[in-house]
Amino acid sequence: MSDLLSRIIKTLDGVLESGARASARRHGRRSALTRIGGLLVGGAAAMALPFDRAYGAQAAGKGSEGNDKSCDYWRYCALDGFLCTTMGGSKTSCPVGAEASVVTWVGTCQNPGDNRSYLISYYDCCGKTPYTGAQFCLRSEGERPGYNMGLYNDINWCVANANKGYHCTVALVVGVAS
Amino acid sequence: MSDLLSRIIKTLDGVLESGARASARRHGRRSALTRIGGLLVGGAAAMALPFDRAYGAQAAGKGSEGNDKSCDYWRYCALDGFLCTTMGGSKTSCPVGAEASVVTWVGTCQNPGDNRSYLISYYDCCGKTPYTGAQFCLRSEGERPGYNMGLYNDINWCVANANKGYHCTVALVVGVAS
Amino acid sequence: MDSYRKATLVALLALAAQPALADEPIAPETFTVEAALKPGPNLFVASSGWAGAGVINIFSAADLSYKGNYANGFNGQMTISAGGTVGYTASAYPKRIMKGPIEAVLERFDVSTLKTTRDITILPKFILGQAAHGMLQVSADGERAYVQNATPATSVTVVNLKTGKVVSEIPIPGCWTINLAKDGTRFTTLCGDGRFLTVRLGPDGRATGQAYSEKIFDPEKDPLFTHAERVGADLVFVSFSGVFHRVSDAGDTARLVSTYAFAKEIPGGWAPGGYEVMGYNAPNGIIFIAMHPGARDGSHKNPSTEVWAVDLERRTVLYRSMAPGLTHLAVSQDKVPVIFGTNSHGEGLFRYETDPTAKFAAKLTHQVGLRNASYLLAP
Amino acid sequence: MDSYRKATLVALLALAAQPALADEPIAPETFTVEAALKPGPNLFVASSGWAGAGVINIFSAADLSYKGNYANGFNGQMTISAGGTVGYTASAYPKRIMKGPIEAVLERFDVSTLKTTRDITILPKFILGQAAHGMLQVSADGERAYVQNATPATSVTVVNLKTGKVVSEIPIPGCWTINLAKDGTRFTTLCGDGRFLTVRLGPDGRATGQAYSEKIFDPEKDPLFTHAERVGADLVFVSFSGVFHRVSDAGDTARLVSTYAFAKEIPGGWAPGGYEVMGYNAPNGIIFIAMHPGARDGSHKNPSTEVWAVDLERRTVLYRSMAPGLTHLAVSQDKVPVIFGTNSHGEGLFRYETDPTAKFAAKLTHQVGLRNASYLLAP
């Protein structure tokens, strides 16, 4: 049985590693991902500010720990954008008709459910206008300026897509951070 | 002296007539201008609603009779748009860098200063975004649907210009209506 | 495999499948795109772009929950056809957004996938303005589109949706809005002298003839709103003072069937106001109409104070419901009519349920703080 | 002409010139366009478009009254040069606004007439994002422009403004923001490993060499904000924890001149926050910086609670003024410094006057409810 377990773990590690490598490749430089373990303390105290990258600011909802439509949801610790969960998508899927971004920034967020720190990949969904009534969030735990591009949430991450209009953002677990 | 007086009056009439003709020509159909005298009662009770053609609605200022930055200014009785007076222009001039519209809609507004009804030509200024902090007004005294195009304030009157972005609207006296 | 090992394997596989359990971390996830719009009747709401992109937002007709959108360009129009499954939008794409020459484009999209299925450059004479009824119409067979032009001289661009080509431009000087006949063989438009113009269309979409009606309305004393509802075989319009004009567009010449001054006997100076001023529910024969009191010159765009339920057949105002702030109104074709409304002057998307057993009294059930919303199409 | 007739003529001409008099109607008026921006120092405020056009709004620096604007495209950047008389903006014009290939364009405009004087298509690799310092720079002689690219791999596009051509693309992998040297012969950029890269530029704008500095900052423990201020011959940056880093960019290799942990001794966990976090007033040698208390991981974009006046020479925090809600801050070069600020998270454009005789205490004088405002440039 330890074989099965180790295979499961290896698979997870493999995905994490290849994810980090892919990100590094896409960013065309040494990825900041490799340094994340020691860099970030994880999103212990979730901060939810009424922020604005493009449109009117929205007050963050008083969501529960498990409410993925709320800015204080644990995965959103470095998310700057509209939540796809409030626009017909989910936390891992773009709304219908949008284009999945091919590059991404990442954060390291602590899941209060298992006290693990996860590497979260924030993919933008592209090619359409946002819904202005959607939930806009800005949290920047572990966020860094553009010289650490893989951690930077101030650019339009539809930049490498055919269609560059910013629609909304998802938050995928790509691995365990530590 | 009566010669001079009559010449002045004729000049005014001439401008009004040629203005009306020009408008009719531009609209490519019998201009509604020729019927305005009997049609409209003039902006007796000024209505200032917090309206919106494109952007966020703005409450109309409590301007005095002579305040051309306020929606209840007498000339604005059929104006739908941003006031150029609040965007660096005046009631007869576009802000710097804008393009003067070549077609226009008209209203008939009563000037409380002399109790005359005037034909007002609403020219749009074109080729730039509005300033979203400017005063937006919508009044529709004597306004008519698109089958009376010369009186219609729901279209973008930059339509015949090289640059079709709507910037703001001015209100010119083009003659006495009655 | 002994039962102990088997049980452990099952448990471990369960762990892997339930990544939220404390013992096993969340498994890496896959990034996807939703394949199709959530099922159920849709409400389409246009927001015309004035400084860039506009959008058609799609809400659940049941509860106004958000379902998705289709982005268009500057000053966009919309229509939905084929039982709500195919969308069309015409809008402008200027070279430098606020400046430079425009490319006017007719886009067709699949409502379920929100994917563009046609992108046709049309005449740049295309009407620039707010989304409204009669600016863009598509034949029932989906083969032909008709687009209002205004330079500001008025004409209609005919587009063949099969070939993706503009077929012709039909001048309609002094006339406004396209009301396509049910069989697609003609369209009717309102003219500034109070007559209606009917344009006959050949099988290729070109005009084969045209005829003006008698004078149907008085554009000086009591103009018609251009919004129209299809009622049986006829079109119903309403005037600024509140007179329904029932017009037959079945023949080569439009014909006034009847008028009904529904607001006349009711004190308070009530009149219709807004843009999309009314909606018709066919199963019950009821028109719901946005009304404001103290009507006067220039109040014809005032938002509603009440929405009135009018029985067209019995010529009766059945009920006056409180429904403030609507400039646009659309009604479902359910047996229990649902009214949707927007306020293009401010904000708000509203859903009202009516009660057929209580004279179609309307009650607010859902509300969304949407801004810049205007023309809407109900299921 | 007898004196009676003469007097009457004068009176009539006066009537004609004063159309508001009761006896004579208002004369027909002429439609014009204002020829030039109203005189006086200007404040430039960028609002980057995310669903279409963006805009550079121009306000009077004296009272925030509105003067005019220049519209640009999607995700626009700006810079102003030649003593405030020439503006530049780089932005994207996508084929279908939210979709389709983009044309990235560098536009030059005359600030007085707001007319476009150059429209140059640049590399589509152009950074898409919010307007910020170091994304677009123009040499002092107005001959060369430098544009940050991010695909997200980073490089710099060099544009010859005389010929209107792109000269070259200079890769700066892992580095971000362009800080052009005063003499235009090199630019310096911040890299992810804490070093600065200096790129030497030939007379044609091409790179003739490059050199990395020693490690100047610690990107893991205390990253630098990328906003920079020119202080004398040096560049001043500030770190997330509030340490000024004075960097010389005069040589072929950037060099750390000094650091100053100005917030260290002050209780409350204060740190800089926002985007354009500080502005320098040269006549007095004072940096004004947006500060928030209780700083922690992720609070580096928090808007200000206070603005601190810091004397760089004397290494003293002179005064802490209440100035809430600023994410962007710019300071005039007057002897009596004026601070301008915006809140890109919410709304507001603010003007504060400072008092050099009272330790540069700042007091709010004007406020405008502007939304979507971000990067600003003071006179």
Dump pLDDT digits (tens) for A116-150.
999 999 999 999 999 999 999 999 999 999 999 99
Q: Is residue C356 in a domain?
A: yes
User: Does B51 have pLDDT greater than 60?
Assistant: no
Long-range pairs for B44-48 at CB < 8 Å and ≥24 separation?
A: B44/B110, B45/C296, B46/B72, B46/B74, B46/B77, B46/B139, B47/B72, B47/B139, B47/B141, B47/C298, B47/C299, B48/B72, B48/B137, B48/B139
User: Is C314's pLDDT higher than 50?
Assistant: yes
Range of the domain at C79: 35-171
Give the list of residues 6+ apart from residue A74 with CB closer than 8 angstroms, or none.
A43, A46, A65, A109, A110, A111, A112, A113
Sheet holding C361-371, edge to edge: C328-331, C338-342, C347-355, C361-371
Q: For position B66, what pLDDT does the model report?
A: 87
- CATH number at C39 reads 2.130.10.10
DSSP B4-55: HHHHHHHHHHHHHHHHHHHHHHHHTS--GGGGHHHH----SS---B---SSS
Judged by a CB distance cut-off of 8 A, whether residue B49 touches chain C is: yes
Helices (H), C173-299: none
Shortest distance between the Cα of C297 and any Cα of chain B, in A, equals 5
Region A148-159 average pLDDT: 97
The pLDDT tens digits of the residues spanning C155-185 come to 999 999 999 999 999 999 999 999 999 999 9
Q: D167 and D272 share a domain? A: no
Best residue in A3, A90, A96 to probe C by mutation, most C CBs within 10 Å? A96
Query: Residue A122's closest chain C neighbor by CA?
Result: C31
Asked whether residue C23 is assigned to any structural domain, the reply reads no
In D, which residues are within 8 Å of B98 by CB distance? 33
Task: Inform me whether the C-beta atom of residue B107 falls under 8 Å from chain C C-beta atoms.
Answer: no
Residues 70-129 of D with CB under 8 A from C: 71, 73-74, 93, 95-99, 105
**Is residue C340 a part of any domain in this protein?**
yes
- Last residue in a domain, options D171, D197, D231: D171
Q: Give yes or no: A157 in active site.
A: no
**Mean of pLDDT over chain C:** 94
The answer to whether residues D162 and D287 belong to one domain is no
Q: What integer pLDDT is reported at residue D22 of this predicted model?
A: 54
Mean pLDDT value across residues C246-266: 97
pLDDT tens digits for range B92-127: 999 999 999 999 999 999 999 999 999 999 999 999
Binary contact (D128, A130; C-beta < 8 A): no
Does the residue D220 lie in any domain?
Answer: no
8 A C-beta contact, residue C278 and residue C271: no
**Measured between beta carbons, which residues in chain D are less than 8 angstroms from residue A53?**
50, 130
Statement: residue A31 has pLDDT above 90: no
Residue C155 is assigned to a structural domain of this protein: yes
| Whether residue D44 sits in one domain with residue D161 | yes
Report pLDDT for C294: 98
Token representation of residue C23: 């013992």
Residue B86 contacts D, CB cutoff 8 Å: yes
Q: Which of residues 64-83 of B touch C (CB under 8 A)?
A: 77-78
Q: Which residues of B are known to be catalytic? A: 105, 124
| DSSP label at residue C183 | T
The last residue of a domain, from among D171, D190, D209: D171
Into how many domains does chain D fold?
A: 2
pTM for the whole thing?
Answer: 0.86
Q: Which one is predicted more confidently, C19 or B19?
A: C19
CB contact under 8 A, A114 and C30: no
Q: Same domain, yes or no, for D42 and D159?
A: yes
**A86 and C CB contact within 8 Å:** yes
DSSP three-state, residue B148? helix
- Look at residues C152, C223, C298, C273 and name the one whose alpha carbon lies nearest to residue B138: C298
Q: Which of C102, C154, C372 sits opposite B164 (nearest CB)?
A: C102
Mean pLDDT, residues B51-59: 32
* 3-state DSSP assignment of residue C314: coil
User: Residue D71 and residue B129: Cβ atoms within 8 Å?
Assistant: yes
In angstroms, rounded to a whole number, what is the distance separating the alpha carbons of residues B33 and C220? Answer: 12
The Cα-based distances of C264 to B128, C25, C241, C315, D334 in angstroms read: 46, 71, 9, 12, 68
Nearest to D52 among C95, C97, C99 (CB): C97
Residue of A nearest to C367 (CA): A133
Provide the 10 A C-beta neighbour count for residue C112: 18
CB neighbour class for C22 (10 Å; exposed up to 12, middle 13-18, buried from 19): exposed
Among chain D residues, CA nearest to C91: D96
**Integer angstrom CA distances of residue D264 from C99, D211, D244, D261, D315:** 51, 33, 11, 6, 12
Contacts A124 to D, Cβ<8 Å = none
- Between positions 32 and 71 of C, the ones with CB within 8 A of D are 49, 51-53, 71
Structure tokens, D77: 């950047």
Q: What pairs with residue C145 in β-bridges? A: C138, C159
Give me the catalytic one of A74, A105, A154, A157.
Answer: A105
The residue of chain A nearest to residue D192, with distances taken between CA atoms, is: A147
| Residue C238 maps to a domain | no
Residue with tokens 């007719």: C106
Asked if the Cβ–Cβ distance from D223 to A145 is below 8 Å, we say: yes
Quick one: pLDDT at residue A19? 33
Place of tokens 């995310």: D50
- Higher model confidence: residue B17 or residue B160? B160
In a domain, C371, yes or no: yes
Overall average pLDDT of the A66-95 stretch: 97
Flag whether pLDDT at B6 surpasses 90: no
Instruction: List chains touching B (3+ CB pairs under 8 A).
Output: C, D
Count of CB pairs separated by less than 8 Å, A with D: 150
Overall residue count recorded for chain D in this entry? 379
* Shortest CA distance from C54: residue in chain A: A129
Asked if the model's pLDDT at residue A43 lies above 50, the reply is: no
Q: Does B57 touch chain D (CB under 8 A)?
A: no
**In-domain check, residue D67:** yes
* Rounded Cα distance, B68 and D217, in Å: 56
The answer to whether B140 contacts chain C (CB < 8 Å) is yes
Assess A106–C contact: CB distance below 8 Å, yes or no: no
Q: Which of D154, D171, D188 is the last residue of a domain?
A: D171
Q: What is the pLDDT of residue A66?
A: 87
**DSSP H or E stretch at residue C235:** strand C234-238
> Coil, strand or helix: which one is A148?
helix
Below-70 pLDDT ranges, chain D: 1-22
- Would you say residue B169 has pLDDT above 50? yes
